[in-house]
Every structure is written in C-alpha cells, then in structure tokens.
A and B are shown apart, each in its own frame.
Chain A
Amino acid sequence: MAASETILSVKDLRVRFRTLDGAVEAVKGINIHVNAGETVAVVGESGSGKSQTMMAAMSLLASNGEATGSVDYRGRNLLTLSKSELNKVRGAKISMIFQEPMTSLDPLYSIGNQLIEPIRRHRGLNAAEAYEEALKLLRLVHIPDPERRMKSYPHEMSGGQRQRVMIAMALANDPDILIADEPTTALDVTIQAQILMLLAELQRKLGMAIVFITHDLGIVRRFADRVYVMRQGEVVEEGEAEAIFVNPQHAYTKMLLAAEPTGHKAPPPANAPVLLEGRNVEVTFRIGGGFLAGEPLMLRAVDHISIRLQRNQTIGIVGESGSGKSTLGRALLRLLPSDGLIRFGDRDISQADRQAMRPLRRQMQLVFQDPFGSLSPRMTVGQVITEGLLVHEPNLSGKQRDLRAVEALREVGLDPNARNRYPHEFSGGQRQRIAIARAMILKPKLVVLDEPTSALDRSVQKQIVELLRKLQADHELSYLFISHDLSVVRAMADYIIVMKQGKIVEEGPTEAIFSNPQHAYTQTLMAAAIDVTRFRLSA
C-alpha cells in the first residue's frame, strides 16, 4: 500500500467505567493512528483494553463508560460529534464487525432486510435499488445462492455465513476503515481461514484500511502492516509487524511470542493396562416428534466409534464444532445413553445405571471448557472442591476434608487460603485450576478434559497444559483430551483421533498424524491451523 495519509488518529484516549467499586480505567491514554488502506493490528490478551479502545472511538461504550481524549477522523473529533453527525460516519465511513457472529445479527429480521437498511439510510436509494446492492454484496462475500439467502433468517445460517453477512453489512457503504474485533475467534479453524482470506481479498478489491483487534499473533503476522501491543490499557510496543516478530523489544511482547505450548507426550508402554475401552459406541438424539407431531428426526451424533485408552495415556479427540467429540466423551463416562460396548477397567459398564455408576464416578472425572459457568457462584472454593468427598468418602470429618482441600489446592498451584473465597474472585486461569482441583481431590484414574484451555489466554493456557502434564506424571492419569486447538493437542496427547460428523476419519500416534496426515479433512484442518493459530494468545 502506497497510501500514507493518516485518516484516523487516536490521541490520549482514556476510557473509564463507573462501577460499584469505583471508577475503573480500561484504557489509559493511548495514541494510535491508521493510514489509508493499511492493515493495523491491535494485539493483547483479555482485559488489555484493545476492544474498548475501538468501542470508544465508535461511541459504542456501555452506558457506564466514558471516553476522553480525541479520536480524529479526517479532521473531525468523533468523540464530540452530535449523534446525527456521528451516525453519518458510523456504518458509512467507518464500520465494524464483531466477535460474535451468532448473536450480532438481529434474529427477528431476514438477511435482506438487515442488509438493505444501512444501504438505504446512508445512500438514500429506493427499495429496489437497495435490494440490488444487497444482492451484489452477498455475491461479493461469496454467499452461495444469494437470492434465496436474502429471505433467510440468521438462525438458518452457519456461523461462518453469518460472519460473511456481517462483513457484507459493514462494507455496504464502501467504508474508509473496517474495524474487525476478533472476527474469527468464535469460528472453527477451517472457517477462520476462509473468513481471513475473504477479508484480504476484499481489502485488495476495495482498498479500505482494516483495524484488526485480536489476540491471535497468526493473523497479525500474516495480515498486519503495523502492530500495537496492548497490556492493561496501555500500548507497550508498536511498530512494523515484521520488526515486532523478529525483534520484540518489550518483555510482554516476548512473552506473548513464546507462549505457544511446547513439548511432547511419550506414549505409555505397549503393555500398559487398558483403562477405558469403547467398541462401536453410538449416540443418537431424537429431535421433535410426539403426540400428533409425526416421526421424530434421528440424529446420530456419535457413529460407531471404537477407542482404547491405556493407563498414563492421553488421547486427543480433535474435530470442529458439531463433530460429536464432546458427546463421545460424555457417552464414555455414561453421562449420556449410548449403544455399543463400554468397559472401564475390567467392568462392562455399557448398561450401568446411575446407581451402579456412582461408586465408579470418583475414578472418572470431568473438567469443562467454561471456567466461569462450571463453578457454583454460591459456594466457596473449599465447598466446591470438597463436594465430591461428601459422596465418595462420607466418613471423612470436616477437618480431614479441609486438609484434603488444602492439599488439592497446593497441587494445582493455588494458595490454600483461597478455599474460603468465592469463584468470582478468581481469574479464568485460576478458576480452571479450581476445576482441576475438584477433579483431582478424588484421586481419579481417568479425567475427561473437554476443551479445558479454550477459554483462556495463551500465556495462561501454557501454564494449564504444564499443570495437567505434571499431574499426569505424578498420578499415572489417563486423559481424554477434547479440543479443537491443534497446537495444544500436539503438546498434550500421544495419540490422536480426528472426528467429523460423528465418525472417526483418522487416528494414530500424534507425530504420525502431524507429520503425515492421510485424510483430506485432517489435511485441511492442519493447513488452516498451522497458518492461523500458530501464534494464538487465547481463545
């Protein structure tokens, strides 16, 4: 890009939020500028203020937020414009796409209706002309069968398609600047790659500047001309993208670049005992049906899957959303009814009911993705992690339980004094440690880890991976590690199962899968992941 005229210039921007605990400063006086046609990345982990910076620039802050400083767009300060003047800039000159493709479109209006509205508003076209423009936009973002899609509602489209529609809406009025706030984070890796390709293609065609707000260094490296690294509301480093990658100056930038989980897991000895075995496991969901409602639709979420997990082994189950990987994990723990044979140790648990499973539960534990939703907000950390002991070791005295809590918290690297506090006082990474302590306190043999690192910042992810590995080594644990994140799976698992639409498309030792993927789907997955998520900081 030859253009060098500065079109957006953020000066001494501060963003404050009034909260019950007093004012919180989310952005602390930063300076950022964007030149015509260039791609700027604002990089940082959660809480760095990278999103709030752009929300402030667009006057989209929550009602308890206020911004000071100046946001200069072609000579006008956006922070002081009247609402009607501002609305001539928003959506026309500067537009924005968001992280949440599933909820960012209005569920009650058709795609066509939502596309036509900003076109008519900013360009004053009549309905028929705007309809034609909207069709053109859908073609531009490669939505198949655009005439039919105009009448579709958001819930009838996939996440990737919705994000394409968002992009179409943002580009409807040929903006100078497109702000993309984590545009691919909520999408599967193969879809991420497609959306990024689309953005790059559109930028070549239309020549707008793009501001990427992202935690994903892969995006930055491939797309950005210049980078701002943010941390706790401040810009700690800025410069040409290439320079930052080759020669990072600030310690924080260096840490981000080094945050990729590394290391490998050696497979267990071939004669290690088999802890969990599933043969031809099938899970079928019934959708609809009932009195006078006709035949239900049968959906096979897990389709004839066989799996053998040895002691001290980690099997990584990889697949995109909807591939059935979580369902498989739950079925193997008998948390969902399934067909086929399931053995745990030397017991056939294929048909075991709740009662029969209860004594076995302490040996098989589960850690979930969402560290915010999976801990009861009304129980102290101590109560949360010792709850299982009440069921499985009812003879323990309160004092003994407390000692076990102290021990478990130490084991996951938390201060034992934390046990009298409540989950909301902890960060995402600490909460995930609490969830792990809750599983470990029962001294299980098998732990199913369902995306345990996906909701965490990359630097925290690395710590959790290391913790899980240490616990495995100390206790000879077997893990089922469910994840869409190939770099974490690579560091954790010695064996990998790749799932698609409920079926296993490929399986084998980790290094074999990574160095020589056989199935076309695995290859796409790898290609997309290596390109995009290599340097991801968080999810």
Chain B
Amino acid sequence: MLRYVLRRLLTAIPTLFVIVTMAFFLMRVAPGGPFNQERGLSPEIRANLEAQFGLNDPLWLQFVHYLGNLLRGNFGPSYNMPDFTVTELFAKGLPISIQLGASALVLALLLGSVLGTIAALNQNKLGDYMVIALATAGSTIPTFVIAPVIQLLFGLTWKLLPIGGWGDGAFINKVGPVLTLALPQIAIVARLMRGSMIESLRSHHIRTARALGLSDWSVVVKHALRGAILPIVSFTGPAAAALLTGSVIVETIFSIPGVGRYFVDAALNRDYTLVMGTVVVIAIFTIVFNLIVDVMYAVVDPRVRYD
C-alpha cells in the first residue's frame, strides 16, 4: 500500500509538469497582456513594467524562469495586485475557501447519504418521492438563485443571518455560504446513494443476512450501507477538489475573501502568475484527493488491493 501511494505521488510529478506547461503556453496564446488593457499606462511605464517582470524575454526563457521559481515554491508577484505575491494571496484566501468547502462537503455527505438511504428503503413510496423532489430541486436551481434567496429570507426578512461578509470567520457568517455550496452537492449525493443503496439491498448477501434473522439495523447499516458507499467515495474526490478551491459565485455574492474569485479575475486581467498559481493549486488538490479516494477504496473494500 505504501509503495502504491509512493508510486502515485511520483507519477503526479510528470502530470503536474504537463499541466503547468499547457497552462503556461495556452495563457500566452490568448491575446493581450497584464499591462496593456484599459489602464491608461504611458508607453514608457508599460515598457518599464514589462522589462521588470521579464515579459520581454523569449517565451521559452520565461517558462524556464517560471519553472525554476515554482520549484523553489515561489509563485511570483501578482501583476494586478502588485502589493501581494501569489503565495500571500493564497495564504490569506485559501484557508477561508477550505473552511467553507470542507463544511459544505461534510454536510453534503452526511445529509445526502441519510436522505438517499431513506429514499432507497422507501422505494416508490412517499419518502422516496420527497427525497427525489428535493434532489431534483437542489440540482436544478442554480447557486446564483439560491444565494440571494437565502440572503433575502434569512438575512433581510427574518434577520437570522448576516447578509454577507466574512466577519473574521464567525460561525453565523458561514451558514449562508455553506448552505448554498452544500445544497447542490446534497442533491447529487442523495441521488447517488439512493441508486447504489437500492442495488445493494437487492444483492444476494443481503438476502443471506435477512435469512439469518439479523436485525434491520445490521442488515441496512452494517451490510447494505457499507457496500453502497463506494460510489459516494469516488464522487468525493473530484467534489472535494472543486469545493475546497472556492466558488466564484458564492464568494462574490456573500462577499467572502476566498480564492474562488481569483481564477476568473486573473484570467480576465491576464494576471499570468495568479492564473498559473490557481492552476497549480487546483491540480494538486485534484491529484491528492483522487489518491485519497483510491486509498479509501482499499479501506472500505477488502477486494481492492494495491501492490
């Protein structure tokens, strides 16, 4: 197992290299640059800036420099927020996005699994239909509708929650954004869980468990649920990578200083270093969480062996 994890981490290096290379050159193919937009910079200043950031060097040399810096853990300065380095921006914003994303993920997994199980146990009965209706609503109503509705109802009308802001991470400030992030995920988990639980309940070993007179609790939780959890585990990998790296919509609507906005802002402003930084962070999260998922598979299912 250790050997497998080591092997996977080693193969992550070429993967990251390919991602960084592609992102770097694709970014440069796009027209424009960080300093030639509607900034009204005089040509001299612009030339100075470009010279200072090495943007006049041949592209391959810039790439070599970037790689060299990256290896030393230096993501470079942000071109558009020149007071900060990219590393500083992530150091400030990433913990916030991770807190929100992780809370939303945990909530979605717990609530989604419970709802999905309830639906499966009541297949084609009232409980099932209610969960399906909820799941359909959760996955069809877009986040940018849910968020303002939460703000309107809980913030303005009932005054239970603040309308926005981070409030130095006060619990009450997180409720709205976490709910908004979690709702679509709850819907997905519930649907996945319902399907795999129905299949699991039909399997032969569940029939055996019932024939042995085991309690409903043991049949459902010990035998059926553990087998049904595998699709949820595979879903969690990509979902975690996506949630923990922030959401532009939720962070914008609730005015949260996370990292979700960086990607869009940076791409629009041709902030090369910040785009690259975001790409690297998302890639690392994706690789790590997929590895965790594969390890979890072996923990849940003894038939899965890595050697």
User: Could you tell me which A residues sit within 8 Å of B by CB distance?
Assistant: 58-60, 62-63, 83, 86-92, 95-96, 98, 100, 103-110, 117-118, 121-122, 153, 155, 166, 169-170, 291-294
Closest to A100 in B: B204
Closest to B300 in A: A108
A121 touches B214 (CB 8 A): yes
B7 touches A292 (CB 8 A): yes
Closest to B219 in A: A87
In the complex with contacts A103-B204, A106-B205, A106-B223, A96-B215 CB distance below 8 A = no
A103 touches B203 (CB 8 A): yes
Contacts of B7 in A (CB 8 A): 291-293
Complex Cα spacing A236 to B195, Å: 41
Question: Is B48 in the interface zone, CB < 8 Å from A?
Answer: no
A108 touches B204 (CB 8 A): no
Contacts of B301 in A (CB 8 A): 107-108
Contacts of A153 in B (CB 8 A): 302-303
User: Could you tell me which B residues sit within 8 Å of A by CB distance?
Assistant: 7, 10-11, 123, 202-205, 207-216, 218, 222-223, 226-227, 300-303, 307
A106 touches B227 (CB 8 A): yes
B205 touches A105 (CB 8 A): yes
Contacts of B211 in A (CB 8 A): 58, 60, 90-91, 95-96, 98
Contacts of B215 in A (CB 8 A): 87, 121
Contacts between chains A and B (CB distance < 8 A), count: 86
In the complex with contacts A107-B227, A117-B218, A155-B213 CB distance below 8 A = no
Given contacts A62-B202, A90-B213, 13 further A-B contacts (CB under 8 A): A63-B123, A87-B215, A91-B211, A92-B213, A98-B208, A104-B204, A107-B301, A110-B302, A117-B212, A166-B208, A169-B208, A170-B212, A291-B11
A91 touches B212 (CB 8 A): yes
- Which of A58, A95, A108, A291 touches B227 (beta carbons < 8 Å)? A108
Q: Closest 10 CB pairs between A and B?
A: A91-B213, A91-B212, A90-B213, A87-B213, A103-B204, A106-B205, A118-B212, A96-B211, A153-B302, A292-B7
Complex Cα spacing A109 to B209, Å: 12
Contacts of B209 in A (CB 8 A): 106
Complex Cα spacing A127 to B213, Å: 18
Closest to B6 in A: A292
A83 touches B208 (CB 8 A): no
Contacts of A98 in B (CB 8 A): 204, 207-208, 211
Closest to B198 in A: A63
Complex Cα spacing A52 to B207, Å: 13
Give A83 Cβ to nearest chain B Cβ, in Å.
Answer: 7
A118 touches B207 (CB 8 A): no
A60 touches B207 (CB 8 A): yes
User: Can you list 6 A-B pairs, Cβ within 8 angstroms, ordered by A?
Assistant: A89-B213, A108-B227, A108-B301, A117-B212, A155-B302, A169-B208
Closest to A122 in B: B213
Complex Cα spacing A100 to B203, Å: 11
Contacts of A91 in B (CB 8 A): 211-214
Contacts of A293 in B (CB 8 A): 7, 307
- Which of A87, A96, A107 touches B214 (beta carbons < 8 Å)? A87
B204 touches A88 (CB 8 A): no
Contacts of A105 in B (CB 8 A): 205, 208
A83 touches B216 (CB 8 A): yes
Complex Cα spacing A60 to B203, Å: 12
Contacts of A169 in B (CB 8 A): 208, 212
- Which of B212, B216, B218, B303 touches A107 (beta carbons < 8 Å)? B303
- Which of B205, B213, B222, B307 touches A104 (beta carbons < 8 Å)? B205
Contacts of A83 in B (CB 8 A): 216
Complex Cα spacing A100 to B208, Å: 10
Contacts of A95 in B (CB 8 A): 211-212
Complex Cα spacing A291 to B10, Å: 11
Give B267 Cβ to nearest chain A Cβ, in Å.
Answer: 34
Give B216 Cβ to nearest chain A Cβ, in Å.
Answer: 7
Contacts of B302 in A (CB 8 A): 107-108, 110, 153, 155
Complex Cα spacing A58 to B211, Å: 7
Complex Cα spacing A421 to B223, Å: 41
Give B26 Cβ to nearest chain A Cβ, in Å.
Answer: 28
